[in-house]
């Protein structure tokens, strides 16, 4: 992957640079050879999953006392970016683990829950975040899944849709309402293990892009969850979801940034090698201008993503910046991937070359973890 000059905002410390380079090297050597096969099989390679854990990439922000890497949120963002430049499907798996599941547990779990679940997430267990339902998308809290107290347990009934990592996950953060009349104040988060009685996976979605990333329906039929597995406290699910999704949007911004960087790198390489009219097409000014415009938009997206991540690590407000980086990076990813296909010409339209897949992968960036319209609504609210 072609490197770029860095502004002051995108300057990396020596440790961050070493970490980024390690992830970049791993992605190029270990992920790249598997991309097409995983996409066509619609399945994540199990050996690759073990490697992600062994490198500490599935527990970047988990403190070392729980077996994690003890890294920063910014380092998690770097990992998502570099992996997504090679395969955004693997990128989103790492993203959901680090920016949603681990962050939610680190902030809201009690000590007993942290010892058990952060230790699992850092070593061998993949997490999933179960909020969306058929009638609960952008209106995330119009959810219908119920949880009723019965002795020392809650009984969950309902369905969740479009749950990333569902097939591979061993732990699910599930949002359900314990009191419909209380509105959002009745929403509660539960830690549901894969083998919990009454819980099962439903249909696996057949998707346009990020096909190696599993997206499944979750089914709860009299699912028995001990009260000790409430995350936070009853009625705090709304706050947990909102705060965690704000961080997750930076992760999706990083995924889309990496995707755009990957597509641009492929386009530049092709333009240098492809010859027309007796010379490489990169020597034509029209091609140079197109690639230059793509590079400029990518760097602008990088500034937004890195700024939001730095603000989060510094403990400062980042809601507006998270919305901006998610919105803009997803726009850039779709545009750059589309132009990369055009740079390849007819070759870009076939599966023999990587830009076709990146173009398919880019579309989801405008949809999940808050649509572009929802990001614009947030930006307008906080700026106008």
Give yes or no for residue 235 having a pLDDT over 60.
Answer: yes
* Contact indicator for 230, 307 with CB cutoff of 8 Å: no
Which of the two residues, 102 and 141, has the higher pLDDT score? 102
Domain 14-125 is classified in which CATH homologous superfamily?
Acyl-CoA dehydrogenase/oxidase, N-terminal domain (1.10.540.10)
CA angle centred on 216, ends 86 and 243, rounded to 5°: 75
Q: How far apart are CA 167 and CA 216, in angstroms?
A: 7
Query: Hey, is 58 helix, strand or coil?
Result: coil
Average pLDDT, stretch 119-142? 93
pLDDT, averaged across the chain: 96
The token pair that represents 349 in the structure block: 């339209």
d(Cα 214, Cα 211) in Å, to the nearest integer? 7
pLDDT tier at 2, thresholds 50, 70, 90: very low
What residues have CB less than 8 Å from 74, skipping those under 6 apart?
16, 306, 309, 310, 312, 313
Average pLDDT over residues 235-261: 97
Dihedral sign, CA of 292, 250, 84, 334? negative
| Chain centre distance of CA 170 | 17
Class of domain 239-383: mainly alpha
pLDDT at 5: 43
Task: Give the pLDDT confidence of 105-118 residue by residue, as tens digits.
Answer: 999 999 999 999 99
Domain boundaries for CATH 1.10.540.10 within the chain? 14-125
Q: How many other CB atoms sit within 10 Å of the CB of residue 27?
A: 23
Task: Give helix 319-344 / helix 237-273 axis angle, nearest 10°.
Answer: 30
Q: Which of 82, 299, 334, 369 is catalytic?
A: 369
**Active site (annotated) includes residue 233:** no
Distance of CA 94 to the CA centre of its chain: 7
CATH for 128-235?
Answer: 2.40.110.10
Q: Is the whole model's pTM more than 0.75, yes or no?
A: yes
């Amino acid at each position: 992957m072609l490197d770029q000059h860095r502004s002051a905002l995108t300057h990396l410390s020596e440790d961050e640079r070493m970490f980024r380079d390690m992830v970049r090297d791993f992605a190029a050597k270990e992920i790249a050879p598997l991309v097409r096969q995983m996409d066509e099989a619609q399945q994540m390679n199990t050996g690759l999953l073990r490697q992600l854990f062994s490198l500490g990439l599935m527990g970047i922000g988990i403190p070392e006392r729980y077996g994690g890497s003890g890294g920063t949120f910014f380092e998690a963002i770097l990992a998502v970016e570099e992996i997504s430049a090679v395969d955004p499907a693997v990128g989103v798996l790492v993203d959901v683990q680090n920016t949603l599941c681990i962050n939610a547990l680190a902030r809201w779990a009690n000590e007993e829950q942290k010892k058990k679940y952060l230790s699992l997430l850092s070593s061998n267990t993949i997490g999933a975040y179960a909020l969306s339902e058929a009638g609960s998308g952008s209106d995330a809290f119009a959810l219908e899944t119920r949880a009723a107290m019965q002795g020392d347990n809650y009984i969950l009934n309902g369905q969740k849709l479009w749950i990333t990592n569902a097939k591979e996950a061993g732990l699910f953060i599930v949002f359900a309402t314990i009191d419909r009349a209380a509105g959002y104040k009745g929403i509660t988060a539960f830690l549901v293990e894969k083998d919990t009685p009454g819980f099962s996976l439903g249909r696996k979605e057949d998707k346009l892009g990020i096909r190696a990333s599993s997206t499944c329906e979750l089914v709860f039929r009299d699912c028995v969850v001990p009260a000790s597995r409430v995350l936070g406290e009853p009625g705090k699910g709304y706050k947990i979801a909102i705060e965690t999704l704000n961080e997750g949007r930076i992760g999706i911004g990083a995924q889309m940034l990496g995707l755009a960087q990957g597509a641009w790198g492929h386009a530049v390489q092709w333009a240098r090698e492809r010859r027309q009219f007796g010379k490489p097409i990169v020597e034509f000014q029209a091609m140079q201008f197109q690639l230059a415009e793509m590079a400029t938009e990518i760097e602008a997206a990088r500034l937004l993503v890195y700024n939001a991540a730095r603000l989060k690590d510094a403990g400062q407000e980042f809601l507006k910046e998270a919305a901006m980086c998610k919105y803009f990076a997803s726009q850039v990813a779709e545009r750059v991937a589309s132009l990369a296909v055009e740079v390849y010409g007819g070759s870009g339209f076939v599966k023999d070359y990587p830009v076709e897949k990146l173009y398919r992968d880019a579309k989801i960036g405008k949809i999940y973890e808050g649509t572009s319209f929802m990001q614009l609504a947030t930006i307008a609210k906080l700026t106008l």
